[in-house]
Amino acid sequence: MGKEWRKDDAAYTKVRTDENLMETLRHGNSDFPFQFYDEDLEDFDFGCVGWHWHAEFEFVFVQKGEVHFSVGEDRFHLPEGSGLFINTKVLHRFFAKKEGVIPNFVFGPGLLAPKESLIYRKYVLPVMDFFPDSLAFLPDQPRQERILLEMKEIISLCRLGQSSELRLSSMIQRLWDLLWEEGSSVSRDVKREAHSAASQARLQLMMQYIHAHYEEPVALEDIASCAAISKSSALGLFKKYLHTTPVKYLIDYRMKEAAKLLSATESSVSAIARQTGFDNTGYFCRTFKELYGLTPTEYRRRL
């Protein structure tokens, strides 16, 4: 029997994560750890899939529009027809200013081979340990075009709604073989985790602090001290991985929480401003419009 790989019909407009920013949605199951998502960024709040990470590998194809990806330290602005590989346990975020259709699929390392096998030790573990956090694929590069063609074949099969696990597994193996060939030429000589795990852990602590205290007055010193680092180190980590500052991240997070309240409650704009950490309603309204192109009232009316 085949299995339906399409996502549920229920609206899925945000990534749900735990306190460590690990995605809580289960991808596939233990018998076959694979999941396909046929996603349009217009279905997400402000066209953005927020910061998250997961233990699975991910392949994303840009079917329509231009999509901006932030993956670990890297940033990509990928046009229609391009693709991206995201390694395991890497913080990442996607957004599109206009349209952005991004069919994507994720799968666990165990789908490729058992952990005790030669294939896993020789062709899976090195990718997790030594390959870059991400690899972009462009259609004008012959070797990368082969990867994109294989990705599109997998997407087409998944979109049929019913597919054979055996056929899908063989296609994933072919894709992995192409990835291995492409990634081996750019893999690093030192373990990937050695230079990034500690930094990302500190970054996650600071992001968690912001998520827990955004309603309160929060200073840069507070954010840095929760991770036991200096203010300059905090600035460096946010700039390196999130390409923003801690204070800007705090303001953006407050704006997203305010947008949720505007859509889910009938509270006044001034009450929502206070509830999300803004003492000045005028400043709150100006900042909201700068970020999203709409005043809070216009946003609520459009909903």
What is d(CA 12, CA 243) in angstroms, rounded to the nearest whole number? Answer: 26
Contact between residue 229 and residue 246 where contact means Cβ atoms under 8 Å apart: no
pLDDT in tens, the chain (303 residues): 333 333 443 334 566 776 666 777 777 788 899 999 999 999 887 788 988 889 999 999 999 999 999 998 888 999 999 999 999 988 899 999 889 999 999 999 999 999 999 999 999 999 998 898 999 999 999 999 999 999 999 999 999 876 689 999 999 999 999 999 998 877 554 455 544 667 877 888 899 899 999 999 999 999 999 999 999 999 999 988 888 999 999 999 999 999 999 999 999 999 999 999 999 999 999 999 998 889 999 999 887
Q: Map out the domains of the chain with their CATH numbers.
A: 34-183 (2.60.120.280), 192-302 (1.10.10.60)
Give CA torsion, residues 18, 293, 84, 91, to 10 deg: -30
pTM for the full predicted model: 0.75
Cβ burial, residue 189 (10 Å; 0-12/13-18/19+): exposed
Report angle CA 238, 243, 247 to the nearest 5 degrees. 55
What is d(CA 11, CA 100) in angstroms, rounded to the nearest whole number? Answer: 17
